[in-house]
């Protein structure tokens, strides 16, 4: 594959400080201010990425949930969607516990394409666009053409999948359509970089059986194999 340029790399501290200070989306800032009035003990602020700083997998969801990241300050920690996800992450060896609040991530980091809680869990197009610069900074820290070991971007849900594609360095995505979103879909998008997609672990999917624990486990074990991490269920481990 051809060499590609990436966004400027900044330190983790700088990246997270920029996210914490961001007030670019008036609707979301007002919505979070309203949540602060109702639930002053909650985080009620933008939520950056967290996890293993040497991650080979970056899991990308849509946006903080009201009782999840907007309450706890950590993406995918605190609600039923987090619990479902961490059961799978622990089984696949990416988390040290199935309890999100106690877990440490191994080889994996987690973020959302939009860092602030949106009303009805639905960011609008301008908000997705406004938040691209933060996702780009996270992507620049995660992968560059110089990486020698395989990396996987794991998108959770179709909206996150398409927003993630738009935030990729132009020279990776330029001239190519976003690979269609499908559960378990997989594409090689640059040297040592694959995009894998999975249904979101929202209640809408998990309570209707659209996403089952087996389906999530299958995708996570595939991702684990792609990046060369042995899972607890891997007979080689």
Buried b (16+ CB within 10 A) or exposed e, 170-186: eebbeeeebbebebeee
Task: Give whichever of 4 and 22 is closer to ligand SF4, judged by the CB atom.
Answer: 22
Kindly state the smallest distance separating residue 192's Cβ from ligand SF4, in Å. Answer: 28
Task: Give whichever of 29 and 221 is closer to ligand SF4, judged by the CB atom.
Answer: 29
Kindly state the smallest distance separating residue 196's Cβ from ligand SF4, in Å. Answer: 24
Where on the chain is the footprint of ligand SF4 (CB under 6 A)?
A: 19, 22-25, 28-29, 46, 114-116, 127, 130-131, 134
Q: Are 107 and 94 in contact (CB under 8 A)?
A: yes
Kindly state the smallest distance separating residue 62's Cβ from ligand SF4, in Å. Answer: 11
Return the SS3 of 122: coil
For residues 35, 128, 52, 40, the Cα torsion angle rounded to the nearest 10 degrees is: -10
Task: Give whichever of 116 and 215 is closer to ligand SF4, judged by the CB atom.
Answer: 116
Task: Give whichever of 132 and 187 is closer to ligand SF4, judged by the CB atom.
Answer: 132
Q: CA 44 → CA 31, 39, 150, 234, distances in Å?
A: 9, 8, 35, 40
Rounded to an integer, what distance in angstroms lies between the CA atom of residue 79 and that of residue 32?
A: 18
Q: Are 153 and 165 in contact (CB under 8 A)?
A: no
Kindly state the smallest distance separating residue 125's Cβ from ligand SF4, in Å. Answer: 12
Task: Give whichever of 22 and 110 is closer to ligand SF4, judged by the CB atom.
Answer: 22
Contacts 24+ apart (CB under 8 A), 81-85: 81/200, 81/201, 81/202, 81/203, 81/206, 82/201, 84/201, 84/206, 84/211, 84/213, 84/216, 85/156, 85/201, 85/216
Task: Give whichever of 71 and 134 is closer to ligand SF4, judged by the CB atom.
Answer: 134
* CA angle in degrees (0–180, nearest 5) for 74-84-195: 75
Kindly state the smallest distance separating residue 90's Cβ from ligand SF4, in Å. Answer: 29
Kindly state the smallest distance separating residue 8's Cβ from ligand SF4, in Å. Answer: 18
């Amino acid at each position: 594959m051809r060499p590609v340029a990436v966004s400027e790399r900044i330190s983790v501290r700088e990246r997270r400080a920029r996210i914490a200070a961001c007030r670019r989306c008036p609707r979301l800032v007002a919505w979070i201010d309203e949540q602060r009035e109702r639930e002053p003990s909650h985080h009620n602020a933008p939520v950056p990425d967290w996890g293993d700083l040497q991650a080979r997998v970056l899991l990308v969801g849509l946006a903080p949930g009201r009782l999840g990241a907007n309450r706890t300050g950590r993406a995918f920690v605190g609600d039923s969607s987090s619990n479902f996800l961490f059961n799978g992450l622990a089984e696949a060896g990416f988390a040290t516990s199935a309890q999100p609040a106690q877990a440490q991530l191994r080889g994996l980091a987690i973020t959302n394409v939009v860092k602030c809680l949106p009303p009805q869990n639905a960011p609008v197009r301008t908000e997705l666009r406004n938040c691209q610069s933060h996702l780009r900074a996270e992507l620049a820290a995660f992968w560059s053409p110089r990486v020698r070991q395989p990396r996987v971007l794991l998108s959770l849900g179709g909206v996150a999948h398409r927003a993630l594609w738009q935030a990729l360095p132009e020279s990776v995505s330029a001239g190519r359509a976003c690979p269609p979103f499908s559960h378990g879909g997989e594409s090689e998008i640059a040297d040592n970089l694959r995009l894998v997609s999975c249904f979101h672990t929202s209640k809408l999917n998990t309570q209707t059986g659209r996403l089952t624990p087996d389906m999530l486990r299958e995708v996570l074990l595939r991702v684990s194999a792609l990046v060369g991490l042995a899972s607890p269920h891997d007979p080689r481990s």
